[in-house]
A and B are shown apart, each in its own frame.
Chain A
Amino acid sequence: MTRDVRLTLGPLLYNWPAGQRLDFYRAIAADDTYDAVVLGEVVCAKRSPFVSDATLEAAQFLAQAGKEVVFSTLALPVTPRERAELADICGMAGDGVAVEANEAGALYLLDGRPHRVGPYFNIYNADTLRVLARRGATSVCLPWELEMSSVEAITGAGRDLGLTVEVPVFGSIPLAISARCAHARAHGLAKDGCQYVCGQDAEGMAVGTLDGQTFLRVNGTQTLSDAVLVLAEEIPALVAAGVSALRITPEGVDMVAVGRVYRDLLDGVVDGAMAEGTLRALLGDRRAANGYLHGAAGAGWERVNATA
């Protein structure tokens, strides 16, 4: 298809311990599949003291391995401690360090300097993209909720603005972020004094309906989809629309293998159907979803030929 489309490994959303993170990123560094890796705590600043050294170490060896390293910011910085962490990260931008803003506070701190905008900031139209570009954004990752016609319109505007557009193609879908921690609440705790219970669930806490249907995952203050976003047959249309990078969000499966599926798909080594089959096999019993890009419920699975 094209070698120009880059693969980005998005930030790890789960509360994995430092050692597990380092092992994970060493495997990513040792393989040439991913072009860029986004690091940094997005969900909860309470995790940062335990993992920030590992993040900095990973940043170093990933950069040495030739990866572009991007630091992401908190999705919902509210308290003084969270704001201090936000200011620290935004302060690094410009010294050859790329920073991705996930809300307006980060955009304020990065205003006028080159920066990226992450998928937690609401970009639903080209007018929004124009504002971001005028203030220094060089690259954006679109939110999960958009359907194809919006992706096409925004990507087209991005081309005119000289701004690269990335789209999430794989991983649990972040559906909400809260000041309250439902993970702690499920353990009878509050966010203060949470005992870091989110670390007990390597892929978030499963949330089912009262009729036993799998539905959501709670990851600290974040609510994720239980189904995993899998865009495969849609990739040619995204590339044709001018999307310049695909974002793959880490799950507890072989993420090097997942990246290779997308690289092979972009290289024309496999087709969309074959890629989808391999990704489903890697996911085991996790359900796949692609509804948002087809203008349907995000949890849904739409057959691509029916909408192409």
Chain B
Amino acid sequence: MSRTLELVCPAGTPSALTAAVEAGADAVYFGFRDRTNARNFPGLNFSAAEAAQAAALCRDRGVRPMIAINTFAAAGQEHIWRQAVDTAARVGVGAIIVADIGVAAYAARTYPDLRLHLSVQAAAANPEAVAYYARLFNVQRVVLPRVFTVDDIRMVTASQPGVEVEVFVLGGLCVMAEGRCTLSSYATGRSPNRDGVCSPAEDVRYEQEGDVLVSRLAGYTINRFGPGEDAGYPTLCKGRFEARGRASYLFEDPVSLDATALLPDLAAAGVTAIKVEGRQRGKAYVAAVVGNLRRAIDSLANGGPPGVAVSAAGFTEGGRTTEGAYKRGWR
């Protein structure tokens, strides 16, 4: 293989960021402690001062820091998102990751030298969409939505050679096109696009009914677990529902994405960087999966196999994984 994949890793906290850097990340992405980022969870994310320290630590270690400002600015409150862009520019990051074209326009106009990446939340799902963001905002890299087969990715990289492509290989899997899903706000009033949260924890209830554990989101039953079943978090699209008189995981089984085995194919398709989802995960998880992916990438670069699937680290949802949309049968 002629080129090495860049490993882009999540950090929800300064200690997770340190763990990612030490485990061999090439780049680390994080967000501010507000609704400007799509992991706006209690106890996560970075103040402006922590972001400055994190960026400095990354630069010292030769790691590229990236800040995700990837929710959609609320009308009348655009200043919150502009301030996030200002702060990111001030602390000196390698890139900001944006989704909203209003925010992208502000960043491109105000900081023309600040590298712009397009968030998966913008769901640029075809080469023309990629070209749109490159033309209007000089976006340098696009994080692809989880709708593409490996062949589809090749179609994007071949037709837009001036734009780098980053894809998710590990972590939580959105079934729906990202940034275009309001299932969460339909049920709870809060959504990824506006609030940076999906299926928010404060709306979650677990209730024991006899020997069945029921998970509910804002009063809607998302799943019922019998004795011995693993009770996962009630993310709406991962629930069990009834249709055609049958209960099933209608949208997606309780699985995590693990495309480690596809790394050679992704590299051959022209992918520049691979991304790990999981800013909500702890430093132990980050250290383990980043370390495994580092070894997989290095093994490939030396002509070897990608090695053991990262899911073997035992951190995945329900212990089961999928290669998701990268394989055509998923659709």
Contacts and interface: CB of A to CB of B under 8 A. Distances in A.
B217 to A, nearest CB: 10
Interface string B115-142: 0000000111111110111011000000
Interface string B207-218: 000000010001
Nearest to B237: A176
B242 A190 contact: no
Given A105-B126, A111-B132, A176-B181, A127 B221 contact: no
A207 B236 CA distance: 13
B72 A207 contact: no
B251 A145 contact: no
Contacts, number: 223
A154 B76 CA distance: 9
Nearest to A109: B128
Interface stretch (B24-32, B38-46, B186-194): B186-194
A95 B194 CA distance: 37
B103 A144 contact: no
Interface residues of B, number: 71
A300 B221 CA distance: 16
Contacts of A191: 331
Most A CB contacts (10 A, CB to CB) among B122, B329, B330, B331 go to: B331
B182 A144 contact: yes
A24 interface: no
A120 B237 CA distance: 19
B129 A105 contact: yes
Interface residues of A, number: 74
Nearest to A180: B331
Contacts of B175: 178, 180
Interface stretch (A4-12, A77-85, A242-250): A77-85
B186 A206 contact: no
A97 interface: no
20 contacts: A83-B128, A103-B123, A105-B126, A105-B128, A111-B135, A125-B76, A126-B102, A127-B78, A127-B101, A127-B103, A145-B193, A175-B181, A176-B176, A186-B250, A207-B250, A211-B221, A215-B220, A223-B251, A297-B185, A297-B188
